[in-house]
Structure 1
Amino acid sequence: MWENRQQLLSQSLNLQMFLRDAKQAEVLLAHQEHVLSKDEMPANLEQAENAIKRHEAFLTTMDANDDKVNNVIQFAQRLEDEGHFAADKAQRKAENISERREANRQRAVQLMEKLRDALQLQQFLQDCEELSEWIQEKNIIAQDETYRSAKTVHSKWTRHQAFEAEIASNKDRLYHIQQAGEQLITEKPEIISTIDPRIQELSHQFDDLERTTREKGERLFDANRQVLYEQTCDDIDTWMSDLEKQMVTGGTGEDLASVNILMQKQQMIETQMAIKAQQVSELGAQAEYLERMTPEKVEDIQQKKEAVERRFDELKAPLVRRQRDLEKKKEAYQFRRDVEDEKLWISDKMPLATASDNGNSLFNVNVLKKKNQSLRTEIDNHEQRIHLVCNNGQKLIDDQYLQGTNPIQIKNE
């Protein structure tokens, strides 16, 4: 009898412990169900990003609480294995807890998918809003009848070309938004009523902006084509005269620092050359238009255009030669600096290599051997650098570009 009572008390204790753990698991599941019941979708991009962060933290917490649910299920199985008098009741409760957990897990995964879809949608809508604001801003500029800060027709033309180029370069933003919208509609056809109107609205806005910009160009310049043509030619001529003076008086540098500065200026000149090349090529279209409008001036128009084109072409070869001269000068000055650096390195290592101290004890000899080995390793590793400098010097000797020095002597040193 005593043993039966002991077994009953033991089973009762286990049952109460199971019910306690089950209650804790049910509280956790009830909290999860409460959180998942708030199926509110974000209204903007920031809310979508914050909602995903919160839900990721929620999923992490769910994973951490899985052990508590698993313990309850394992506890119920143990009670059944031990033939507990309430094993059936424990199993039913454990199955209910397991089913609630799986249901919560599925709802959490589904909610994450919805939030990610909402993030994509809100990102799309924000991109649309940003582009729409940019279009409205540029429309204000396009509707302004003139460029007030520009003093000549040519400068106004240059400003307008830059504005047109900015409009054209930003059309890719519209293409990307259209592609993103089409992708979203393909994946989620139910949101077509949200996406399609925004794409159409942006397309209309951009078309209006392009048309307004084009009409502004026509209003500003069609009545001044002759003046624009002459001012463009004069502007290019003036720029070429200034460039020719720079090339005559500029020099090619007296040291490595000055050569580097001149090479940066040369790069700026080449950038300007590309801009002027575009303007020179556009003279052809302007000339054709003027020839149709004023046939009596065809000869003068052609002569002015050909003179500018000829002079511009004549500038290209001297610029190439100057670039090559600067590069060679830089190589020569760089070689001289490298030689000086290597001489300093050698003079720094020579006392260590020629030291006469051979040590006066076993300990000192071992120390000196380690130092000598380290020096040999450093010299071996540095030898490649010496060869590289010597090869650069040999190349300059072959090109006969170490002017004013004895290049062979420098290389041998």
Structure 2
Amino acid sequence: VWQDWWKVEVNDRQGFVPAAYVKKLDPAQSASRENLLEEQGSIALRQEQIDNQTRITKEAGSVSLRMKQVEELYHSLLELGEKRKGMLEKSCKKFMLFREANELQQWINEKEAALTSEEVGADLEQVEVLQKKFDDFQKDLKANESRLKDINKVAEDLESEGLMAEEVQAVQQQEVYGMMPRDETDSKTASPWKSARLMVHTVATFNSIKELNERWRSLQQLAEERSQLLGSAHEVQRFHRDADETKEWIEEKNQALNTDNYGHDLASVQALQRKHEGFERDLAALGDKVNSLGETAERLIQSHPESAEDLQEKCTELNQAWSSLGKRADQRKAKLGDSHDLQRFLSDFRDLMSWINGIRGLVSSDELAKDVTGAEALLERHQEHRTEIDARAGTFQAFEQFGQQLLAHGHYASPEIKQKLDILDQERADLEKAWVQRRMMLDQCLELQLFHRDCEQAENWMAAREAFLNTEDKGDSLDSVEALIKKHEDFDKAINVQEEKIAALQAFADQLIAAGHYAKGDISSRRNEVLDRWRRLKAQMIEKRSKLGESQTLQQFSRDVDEIEAWISEKLQTASDESYKDPTNIQLICASTSVY
């Protein structure tokens, strides 16, 4: 029912009117309407004065006077029109001022309620949403600042025109609230009192503009406080977000450390170490972030004591996570270092074992020389292997020291390291043994070849003498026989000299056999062959000497016979010579005969 009927009051009289025939007016609009009604009343009053004056003029009956009166009335009408125009313009300005001031006042009321809210958001996203709304409000505040400037300018213009001051003064003079009648049904008296009400409303509006400026400054102060509050909340929530993100990064780095891969060879370990160096560079940047967050937390604890507990708790969690990550990173670095040492140790072990196997293949060769030159070459080459082995002694010593150092430091692979050290020591000892055995073999080979050479030389020597001894030449004359004997005597001297060599050869062979030479059977056979041949040679030499002696005797006898035969022939010839018959030759013949 009350929505269909409105209660109204006019001239202290109350009643009900259908809602469709009335509406609620803005106070400023009501004042303007009253002002217009007042002006209409003034015009009607003036028209009544004009009508009275016209009636008086008619009564005067003077045309010229009437014309003058008409002109005066016309000018008066023009003045009234200009006056009305000015009043309408001022009324319009005041109406616009009232409306703008009222709207801005309502906007300030709305924003004050929002700015006095203590809500700052529970996380960074909510804070950023509130900050976005506040940024939009700041834009509106900036835009409405120009509205306030326009309102103040209009108010200043009205005040400068004296309108405000005149109305205020009029109200004060009439003592509006004490003189205003309650019954304003008379239109002649109602209009002035309505003007008085309008002036009172104008004064209220003028005071409202002052209040509006004060509330505007208060709103700006609230905005500044809200900005600081949101800024602080944003900084705190951003710290929490950055701390959470940093913890997530730390957890990612922790996950990256959850691996048992420490490399399977030196190259892979070195690759993992380079990767870990990059990981540590990332940790350095992450450490700077953690330190920065720690400094931020200390500053926020000082500036936001109400959040000190949460900030301290978050900072403690972050530092614990960072410390744990640093320890794990150091442990992995140390483990990679140990793995690198192990792989370097194993790599050196493999290199040394490969070298040992290679050199052992050389020093364990079954190759044997077939002559002295070859044996000497093999010995020389074997000695070069000795030089190479000795040159590697420093490497073996360094490897041994490195392994012992790892064992002393309690390396996680100490059993394997100890095993490799023992294996290498044994292999090195075996190599040394193989070299010594090969050297003994090569020495025996050289001795064997020297023995064979001596045997060959002896056999060659004996072969040359055997050819002499086996010849049937016994000489066909005493001279030739004597020459053969002389040659045999030289041969006999050579035999004596060669006897020493044969004896040395026999002693050398006996020595090799006694020393357990690998070819002692061959040596014994060859020795026996040489000695048998030597004995045969000496027997042939004796036989040959005997034959030459017999030949010498025979040839001596033959020569003596020949000489006797020649002498006999010579004497027979002399005896049968008849030259003695010549007396001249008697003396010579006698001399020859006496000699014979």
TM-score between both structures, scaled by the size of structure 1: 0.52
Give the structure 1 partner of residue 318 of structure 2.
97
CA distance in 2, matches of 1:54, 1:292: 76
| Cα contact 1:128–1:202 (8 A) shared by 2 | yes
SS in 2 for 1:37: coil
Deviations 1:292-338 (Å, cap 9, x if unpaired)?
954999xxxxxxxxxxxxxxxxxxxxxxxxxxxxxxxxxxxxxxxxx
Letter in 1 for 2:392: N
> Paired residue for 2:342, among 121, 130, 135?
121
CA distance in 2, matches of 1:213, 1:102: 58
CA distance in 2, matches of 1:70, 1:49: 31
Deviations 1:334-378 (Å, cap 9, x if unpaired)?
xxxxxxxxxxxxxxxxxxxxxxxxxxxxxxxxxxxxxxxxxxxxx
- CA shift for structure 1 position 96: 0.8
Asked whether 1:180 is paired with 2:402, we answer yes
Deviations 1:107-137 (Å, cap 9, x if unpaired)?
2122212211221111111111111111111
Letter in 1 for 2:341: Q
Letter in 2 for 1:199: L
* Structure 1 residues not aligned, in runs of 5+: 232-289, 298-413
**Which has the higher Rg, Structure 1 or Structure 2?**
2
CA distance in 2, matches of 1:149, 1:51: 57
Give the structure 1 partner of residue 415 of structure 2.
193
CA distance in 2, matches of 1:24, 1:190: 36
Deviations 1:232-272 (Å, cap 9, x if unpaired)?
xxxxxxxxxxxxxxxxxxxxxxxxxxxxxxxxxxxxxxxxx
Given the superposition, is the C-alpha separation of residues 120 and 296 from structure 1 closer, same or farther in structure 2, using an over 3 Å criterion? closer
TM-score between both structures, scaled by the size of structure 2: 0.37
Give the structure 2 partner of residue 20 of structure 1.
241
Q: What's the % identity of the aligned pairs?
A: 23
Letter in 2 for 1:163: H
Give the structure 1 partner of residue 431 of structure 2.
209
| Cα contact 1:69–1:97 (8 A) shared by 2 | yes
Given the superposition, is the C-alpha separation of residues 295 and 11 from structure 1 closer, same or farther in structure 2, using an over 3 Å criterion? closer
Give the structure 2 partner of residue 167 of structure 1.
389
Alignment of structure 1 residues 321-336 onto 2, 5 Å: none
Letter in 1 for 2:423: E
* Structure 2 residues not aligned, in runs of 5+: 1-115, 117-221, 454-503, 512-596
Give the structure 2 partner of residue 263 of structure 1.
none
Letter in 2 for 1:15: V
Given the superposition, is the C-alpha separation of residues 222 and 6 from structure 1 closer, same or farther in structure 2, using an over 3 Å criterion? closer
CA distance in 2, matches of 1:169, 1:149: 31
| Cα contact 1:174–1:203 (8 A) shared by 2 | no
Give the structure 1 partner of residue 443 of structure 2.
221
CA distance in 1, matches of 2:419, 2:346: 11
CA distance in 1, matches of 2:505, 2:415: 53
Question: What's the C-alpha RMSD, in Å, of the aligned pairs?
Answer: 3.2
| Cα contact 1:127–1:177 (8 A) shared by 2 | yes
Alignment of structure 1 residues 5-404 onto 2, 5 Å: 5=226, 8-146=229-367, 152-188=374-410, 190-225=412-447, 227=449, 294=508
Letter in 2 for 1:70: N
SS in 2 for 1:86: helix
Letter in 1 for 2:437: E
Deviations 1:152-197 (Å, cap 9, x if unpaired)?
2222221222122222322332222222111110111553211111
- CA shift for structure 1 position 68: 1.8
- CA shift for structure 1 position 86: 2.8
